[in-house]
Amino acid sequence: MTDLADRPDLAPELRLVPHAFREAFGRSAEGVWYAPGVVNVVPGMAMCCRWGAIVAGERRDDGLLELTSINKPAEPVVLPLSSELPEWAKPVARVIERLRPGGATLLCSVDLPAGSGLSSQTALACAAGLAIRDLCRPDIPMDDLVSALAEGEPLAPVAFTGYEVGLDIEDARLLVIDTRVRRDTAIRPNEIPAQDCSSLGLLGRYLMAFHQAQEPEPEQDIAVKAALAGGAFGASMLVDGPGRPAVALVAASKVSPVRAYVSDAFRRNGLPAPRYLTIRPSGGARRITL
């Protein structure tokens, strides 16, 4: 059987993790699993993107769960032996606590840091959950797995559904703006009444209404106002754990101008340059097969 690490037709990020597994453990992984990042635009409206989390793994017969991360190679975990969990491993540990699997070795990789706007911890939990189910608990129905994951990661059902949920951006793009601001406390969003989102213009107004109902950080406010000045249909702060990102609904032809307006606004305010991701809908969590 061909190792996924040797498949030139796969995306580089899908080959990297099984290659790293083979380099670390001297053998091919038993399987490779992927889950997308999720942009939670406003409550009830979300989109999956191609960036997310990838897990390569194999079963083991000693009952231990060995967790390593390409992103944090100096912070390996062996459960139940490790007394303290590094931050990166906590989403996986929560999955293990719910599923109570047998032994496994998992090598994890997350494309983007927590708080950058793509719910990266949800992606890691979903990829690890799929891996643990297939390796150790194939008796668990997929619906039950998703329900168990959703207890700790409310966006898990979106990550498994894929593409768009409650949202239609037609040929436009979502431009995620990572302001690089991080806080120790998560945000609990204020609710607003549902609005008509049957056109890009109306959806843009809904984003603005959501943003105005929240208490954004100054950097988020700067990003939103600059995106609108650059020609976005609408923009809003995003709620993503420790991060304080923003999102703009932008016509494909306006992505570059909007980025330029936002970058210029950050520069004029003496702020570090933000990071950008242009999002189009992507498929849901799955096992990568030959």
pLDDT one-digit tens code per residue, 29-47: 999 999 999 999 998 899 9
What's the confidence (pLDDT) of residue 13?
A: 73
Look-up of token digits 């999102």 = 247
pLDDT one-digit tens code per residue, 77-89: 999 988 889 999 9
Name the phi and psi angles at 13, rounded to 5.
Answer: -65, -25
**Per-residue H/E/C for 125-173:** HHHHHHHHHHHHCCCCCHHHHHHHHHHHCCCHHHHHHCCEECCCCCCCE
Q: Shortest CA distance to 130 belongs to which of 233, 32, 39?
A: 32
Which residue ranges form the domains of the chain, and what is each CATH number?
4-163+282-288 (3.30.230.10), 166-279 (3.30.70.890)
Q: Shortest CA distance to 169 belongs to which of 246, 281, 284, 262?
A: 281
Q: Give me the chain's average pLDDT, please.
A: 92
- In sequence order, the β-bridge partners of residue 211 are none
The pTM for the full model equals 0.91
Pairing verdict, β 31-42 and 286-288: antiparallel
- Angle, to 10 degrees, between the axis of helix 120-136 and the axis of helix 90-99? 40
pLDDT one-digit tens code per residue, 164-216: 999 989 899 999 999 999 998 878 889 898 888 889 999 999 999 999 999 99
Rounded to a whole number of angstroms, the distance between the first and last alpha carbons of the chain is 9
Q: How confident is the model at residue 241 (pLDDT cuts 50, 70, 90)?
A: confident
What's the confidence (pLDDT) of residue 81?
A: 85
Whether the pLDDT of residue 218 is over 90: the answer is yes
Question: What's the token pair of residue 105?
Answer: 């070795």
Classify residue 239 by its DSSP letter: -
